[in-house]
Amino acid sequence: MMILELNQEQLEKMKSHPGFIAALDQSGGSTPGALADYGIEQDTYSGDDEMFALVHQMRTRIMTSPGFSGDRILAAILFEDTMDREVEGESTVNYLWKQKQIVPILKVDKGLAEEKDGVQLMKPIPQLDDLLMKAKKKGIFGTKMRSFIKHANGAGIEAIVSQQFELAQQIIAAGLVPIIEPEVDIHCPEKAMAETLLKAAILKHLEQLSNGQWVMLKLTLPEQDNLYSDCIEHSSVLRVVALSGGYSQMEANERLGRNHGVIASFSRALTEGLTAQQTDGEFNTMLDESIQKIYQASLT
């Protein structure tokens, strides 16, 4: 039933086309961090309005770059603020799909709660139904929500996955495809064990989905290559995508290339080296080269 409510053209692209997801919702860990990475220091602007305007200028520069197009990029993940703004006189969502053939996805979580049992659950998401309704009307295809795993604690990891899938049901009911992102800290001292526990919890919850209910999984690049092959093959999983998680672009691409069937959903690794001080030619060339490297790593 839910498949009928999705944009079929976008669903087909997400299911079968080569490419990767550009994560434009986070880079450098926070908005000031993202701007600092881009070469705009915190003492050069004041207040949230100015900060978000600068971030949108940065995102717009990326989205309007010639190399940023649907032949190599399947989808882009946006902040709500980005969704509500315009690019070249069109709503951001319409610009991405109509001008670039890139599927629009919305980050819906409100950040992380305090650590408990070695993990950070998501904070409550008040008015989620209203946000999902707004997103659907604007033409958003799916959502993304992130949790964080710091230690290989079985109870904590089960709590993370349970919360993710509970919210996923709400998102599916709104006619959207949720990206479930239980990130494992790349500095976790028992990273391989945490990933083994995570995979088991995910597979258990996937079995509880009904036929025709789609989810995507956004996971940290694992210590054991092809660990998530069972998830890739599951009938309810549209795509398994990888976050860069603080790895350099080179290391993220190397790890991604060893995990067959997984595609990138990189943020920091995508925008690595891009600055406000670059000429448009320099900026476009560097972004195009990064897109090509990530695209190639996503083909394996």
On average, the pLDDT of the chain sits at: 95
Mean pLDDT of the 280-284 span: 98
Type of residue numbered 21: I
pLDDT above 80 for 123: yes
pLDDT of residue 212: 87
Distance between CA atoms of 152 and 118, rounded to whole angstroms? Answer: 7
User: What is the pLDDT, as a whole number, of residue 289?
Assistant: 98
d(CA 11, CA 83): 20
pLDDT of 83 strictly over 70: yes
pLDDT for 31 equals: 86
pLDDT of residue 26: 65
- Looking at residue 29, what is its pLDDT? 55
Residue 1: per-residue pLDDT: 42
- For residue range 208-246, what is the model confidence (pLDDT) as tens digits? 999 989 999 999 999 999 999 999 999 999 999 999 999
Predicted pLDDT of residue 154:
98
Tokens of 250: 């080179």
Average pLDDT over residues 239-267: 96
Cα 297 from Cα 295, distance rounded (Å): 5
Mean pLDDT over residues 60-82, rounded? 97
Q: What is the pLDDT of residues 51-61, one digit of tens each?
A: 999 999 999 99
As a whole number, mean pLDDT of residues 133-141 equals 97
Of 6-10, 173-177, 283-287, the one with minimum mean pLDDT is 6-10
Q: Is the pLDDT of residue 30 over 90?
A: no
Pairing label, strands 142-149, 119-120? antiparallel
Tell me the CA distances in angstroms from 120 to 146, 171, 232, one per residue in order: 9, 21, 25
Residues annotated catalytic, as ranges? 181, 218
Model confidence, pTM: 0.95
pLDDT at position 102: 98
